[in-house]
């Protein structure tokens, strides 16, 4: 991922979307077990790491995201501590992915920080060790160490790439994402489910995943998010955007993650661009997107 002799490395850190999100059970640690079909998409932050200096520092094109609360800072700090490394890193993020939107932008930046540090300081690290550090940073971070179409379970740490046939159906899938200008805290989205600890898991998990993702049409019919109802009751704009996208000809639409971003599957790139333009003209942040086969790529 990185040339060890270079002083800096830049990556694209891509957003994730949930095409299916089932909440299976409430756990004793306060989190929920999920069963989710996730993909990464070509909406990306640009993140540069400069090696050297003491400790971690971080700057961002959005100044409100600077400082130790940034997940990339947290990830880098955890990694340097865990591996006892004295050299530091300064991180700069050009933010493109909407914040607190259900697109896991901060988690992708953090996963990239772990990968970049691992390739520089611990190229033979056991992937399970990296995944455990990732989970300490956040539930979406283990998946974003790799990205691509995957089924994600547990709190987010059980990541299985989908079968080859499904991978084909999910590759270069045309999508539109629209993010209304509201902030939804993930904890609130999960709390609004009001799940008890005794809830039984098995029956809520994804059934027939392979047939659900035979092609874009069957996938469009299978889109589902257990968090959507609670969030759209509180924020009716989510429901309005979803039906607006269906009226514009989407094959299917669903809220991503804990929202408020709404995602639609469309026929082709031209339709994605037309729909994104119309939504942008209505004043929303809207994107024509394609799925990608990995979370990060070296930029330069």
Q: Which of 10, 186, 205, 218 binds ligand C5P (CB under 6 A)?
A: 186
Nearest residue (CB) to ligand C5P, 105 versus 156: 156
Strand intervals (E) in the chain: 8-26, 32-54, 56-60, 87-94, 150-154, 158-161, 174-179, 224-225, 252-255, 262-265, 285-292, 296-298
Task: Report the relative pairing of strands 296-298 and 158-161 from DSSP bridges.
Answer: unpaired
| Interacting span for ligand C5P (CB under 6 A) from 116-124, 135-143, 262-270, 272-280 | 135-143
Q: Does residue 153 bind ligand C5P (CB under 6 A)?
A: no
- Catalytic-residue membership of 16: yes
Segment contacting ligand C5P by CB under 6 A, of 28-36, 118-126, 200-208, 261-269: 28-36
Helices (H), 180-268: 186-191, 209-212, 216-222, 228-234, 236-247
**CB under 6 A: which stretch of 54-62, 136-144, 173-181, 292-300 binds ligand C5P?**
136-144
CA-CA-CA-CA torsion sign (269, 275, 278, 283): negative
Among 139, 232, 256, 291, binds ligand C5P (CB under 6 A): 139
C-beta closer to ligand C5P: residue 186 or 297: 186
In whole angstroms, the minimum distance from the beta carbon of 112 to ligand C5P comes to 16
Which region among 62-70, 134-142, 206-214, 238-246 touches ligand C5P (by CB under 6 A)? Answer: 134-142
- H/E stretch holding 192 reads none
Note whether 105 binds ligand C5P by CB under 6 A. no
Task: Between 2 and 45, name the residue whose CB sits nearer to ligand C5P.
Answer: 45
The window from 61-69, 132-140, 144-152, 278-286 that contacts ligand C5P (CB under 6 A) reads 132-140
Active site residue 140: yes
Of 20, 25, 37, nearest to 152 (Cα)? 37
Exactly one of 45, 109, 140, 174 is catalytic; name it.
140
The one-character DSSP state at 23 is: E
- Virtual torsion, Cα 192, 193, 194, 199, nearest 10 deg: -170
Q: HSE on the CB side for 115, CA within 13 Å? A: 27
Is residue 136 close enough to count as binding ligand C5P by CB under 6 A?
no
Query: In whole angstroms, how close is the CB of 214 to ligand C5P at the nearest point?
Result: 27
Smaller CB distance to ligand C5P: residue 155 or 229? 155
Q: What is the Cα–Cα distance from 242 to 261, expressed in whole angstroms?
A: 10
Q: How far is Cα 38 from Cα 255, in angstroms, rounded to an integer?
A: 12
Residue 223 binds to ligand C5P (criterion: CB under 6 A): no
Let me know: does 216 contact 261? Beta carbons within 8 Å. Answer: no
Instruction: Identify the active-site residue in 2, 16, 26, 226.
Output: 16
When asked if residue 297 is in the footprint of ligand C5P (CB under 6 A), the reply is no
C-alpha to C-alpha distance for 86 and 130, rounded to whole angstroms: 19
36 binds ligand C5P (CB under 6 A): no
Total residues contacting ligand C5P (rule CB under 6 A)?
A: 11
Residue pair 35/24 in contact by the 8 Å Cβ criterion: yes
Site residues for ligand C5P per CB under 6 A? 31-32, 34, 138-140, 155-156, 186-187, 190
Write out the catalytic residue numbers: 16, 140
């Amino acid at each position: 991922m990185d040339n060890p002799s270079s002083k800096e490395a830049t990556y694209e850190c891509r957003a994730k979307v949930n095409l299916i999100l089932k909440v299976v059970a409430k756990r004793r640690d306060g989190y929920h077990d999920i069963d989710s079909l996730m993909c990464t998409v070509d909406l990306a932050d640009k993140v540069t790491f400069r090696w050297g200096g003491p400790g971690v520092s971080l700057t961002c094109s959005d100044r409100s995201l600077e400082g130790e609360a940034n997940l990339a800072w947290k990830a880098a700090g955890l990694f340097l501590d865990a591996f006892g490394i004295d050299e530091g890193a300064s991180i700069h993020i050009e933010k493109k992915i909407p914040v607190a939107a259900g697109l896991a932008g901060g988690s992708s930046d953090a996963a990239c920080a772990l990968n970049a540090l691992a390739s520089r300081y611990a190229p033979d690290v056991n992937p399970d060790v990296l995944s455990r550090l990732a989970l300490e940073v956040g539930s979406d971070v283990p998946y974003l160490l790799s990205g691509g179409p995957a089924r994600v379970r547990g709190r987010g740490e059980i990541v299985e790439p989908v079968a080859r046939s499904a991978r084909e159906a999910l590759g270069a899938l045309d999508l539109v994402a629209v993010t209304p200008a509201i902030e939804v805290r993930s904890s609130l989205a999960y709390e609004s489910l009001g799940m008890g600890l005794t809830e039984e898991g098995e029956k809520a998990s994804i059934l027939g995943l392979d047939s659900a993702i035979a092609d874009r049409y069957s996938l469009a019919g299978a889109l589902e998010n257990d968090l959507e109802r609670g969030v759209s009751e509180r924020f009716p704009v989510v429901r309005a955007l979803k039906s607006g996208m269906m009226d514009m000809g989407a094959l299917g639409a669903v809220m991503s993650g804990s929202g408020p971003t709404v995602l639609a599957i469309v026929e082709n790139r031209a339709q994605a661009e037309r729909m994104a333009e119309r939504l942008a003209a209505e004043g929303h942040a809207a994107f024509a997107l394609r799925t990608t086969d990995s979370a990060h790529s070296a930029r330069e």
